C-alpha cells in the first residue's frame, strides 16, 4: 500500500525541551553539543555560559567554581569552553520518529514555543472548545439568548446551540479583529466593534473572551461546561 498522508494529523507528540551546551575546544575542531551532567543540572545559565568545562561523548562538566569529584573528572577528559546555552525543543512525529522542532535561548521561551505548537485535546487550530467557567452565568444566558434569537449582524459573530448538547458555539466573522483587517473588511476599528458589543449590553467577561478569540483569528469558539479550562484565560467564579 502506498504511503497516505492523513490531512487531520497536526503538530508533534511528546514535546519537550533539553538544555544543551555549545562547546568549542581545539582551534581546528568543530564545536560540539552536550547536555550538562545531571549532577550539575541545578546550575543556572549564567553559571554555565562562557565557563570552562570538561566533556565526554555524553555530558559536560563545568569546572570553574565547581567541585568535581576526581572519579567523575576522569570520565570527562576533553577541555572546552561553553560558548552558549541553548534549549533544544524536541518531539516525535505521528509515526514516532524523533523530530527537532527548533532552538531557543531561555527556558521561558522554550515553554512558550511548546505551548504554541502543541495540539492538546479540546484545542485545535482555529476551532477552540473551552470551559464555560470562563464566563459568568449571566454571560452564558446572554449568549444563549443570542443563539435562540437573531444575533445582531454588527456583532460580527453568530451564536448557535450545539445539537444534543448544552454547549453553545460562536462563529466569528471577519477575523482577525485587528484595526487593519476590520478597516478593510468592515470599515470599523477594533475599539468600535468592542463598543458595539457594550452598547448591546454584552457582559464584559463574555466580550473579553470573544475579543481575544477574534484577535487570534479564531473562527469557531465553543463554550461547554465539560470542556477543559484554557490556561492563561481568566477563570470566572460565579
Proportion of the chain above pLDDT 70, given as a percent:
92
Question: Does position 133 have pLDDT exceeding 50, yes or no?
Answer: yes
pLDDT, one tens digit per residue, over 149-190 is 888 899 999 999 999 999 999 999 998 899 999 999 999 999
Question: CA 41, CA 36: separation in Å to the nearest integer?
Answer: 6
Name every residue whose Cβ is closer than 8 Å to that of residue 20 and which is 6 or more positions away in sequence: 33, 34, 35, 85, 86, 87, 88
In this prediction, residue 115 carries a pLDDT of 84
In this prediction, residue 238 carries a pLDDT of 53
pLDDT, one tens digit per residue, over 10-28 is 678 889 999 999 999 988 8
pLDDT, one tens digit per residue, over 75-121 is 998 999 999 999 999 998 877 789 999 999 999 999 999 888 876 55
**Cis amide leading into 176 (omega within 30):** yes
Lookup: cell for 50: 562562557
Segment 127-131 shows an average pLDDT of 90
Cα dihedral: 224, 229, 234, 237 (round 10): 70
Question: CA 183, CA 19: separation in Å to the nearest integer?
Answer: 44
CB 114 within 8 A of CB 15: yes
Quick one: how far is CA 196 from the chain centroid?
31
In this prediction, residue 164 carries a pLDDT of 93
State pTM to two decimals.
0.64
Four-residue CA torsion sign, 153, 155, 156, 161: negative
Please name which of 63, 206, 184 lies closest in space to residue 194, comparing C-alpha atoms: 206
Name every residue whose Cβ is closer than 8 Å to that of residue 63 and which is 6 or more positions away in sequence: 51, 52, 53, 54, 73
Q: Taking the domains of the chain in order of start, what are their residue ranges? A: 13-117, 123-224
Amino acid at each position: 500500500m502506498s504511503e497516505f498522508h492523513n490531512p487531520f494529523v497536526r503538530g508533534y507528540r511528546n514535546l519537550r525541551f533539553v538544555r544543551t551546551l555549545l562547546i568549542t575546544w581545539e582551534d581546528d575542531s568543530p564545536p560540539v553539543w552536550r547536555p550538562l551532567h545531571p549532577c550539575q543540572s541545578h546550575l543556572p545559565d549564567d553559571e554555565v555560559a562562557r565557563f570552562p568545562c570538561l566533556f565526554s561523548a555524553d555530558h559536560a562538566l563545568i569546572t570553574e567554581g565547581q567541585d568535581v569529584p576526581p572519579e567523575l573528572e576522569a570520565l570527562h577528559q576533553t577541555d572546552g569552553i561553553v560558548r552558549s546555552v541553548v534549549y533544544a525543543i524536541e518531539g516525535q512525529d505521528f509515526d514516532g520518529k524523533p523530530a527537532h522542532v527548533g532552538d531557543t535561548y531561555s527556558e521561558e521561551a522554550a515553554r512558550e514555543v511548546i505551548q504554541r505548537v502543541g495540539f492538546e485535546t479540546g484545542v485545535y487550530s482555529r476551532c477552540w472548545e473551552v470551559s464555560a467557567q470562563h464566563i459568568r452565568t449571566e454571560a452564558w444566558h446572554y449568549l444563549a439568548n443570542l443563539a435562540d434569537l437573531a444575533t445582531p449582524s454588527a456583532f460580527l459573530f453568530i451564536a448557535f446551540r450545539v445539537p444534543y448538547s448544552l454547549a453553545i458555539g460562536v462563529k466569528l466573522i471577519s477575523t482577525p479583529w485587528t484595526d487593519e483587517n476590520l478597516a478593510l473588511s468592515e470599515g470599523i476599528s477594533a475599539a468600535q466593534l468592542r463598543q458595539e458589543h457594550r452598547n448591546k449590553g454584552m457582559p464584559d467577561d463574555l466580550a473579553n473572551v470573544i475579543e481575544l478569540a477574534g484577535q487570534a483569528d479564531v473562527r469557531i469558539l465553543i463554550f461547554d461546561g465539560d470542556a477543559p479550562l484554557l490556561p492563561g484565560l481568566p477563570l470566572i467564579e460565579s
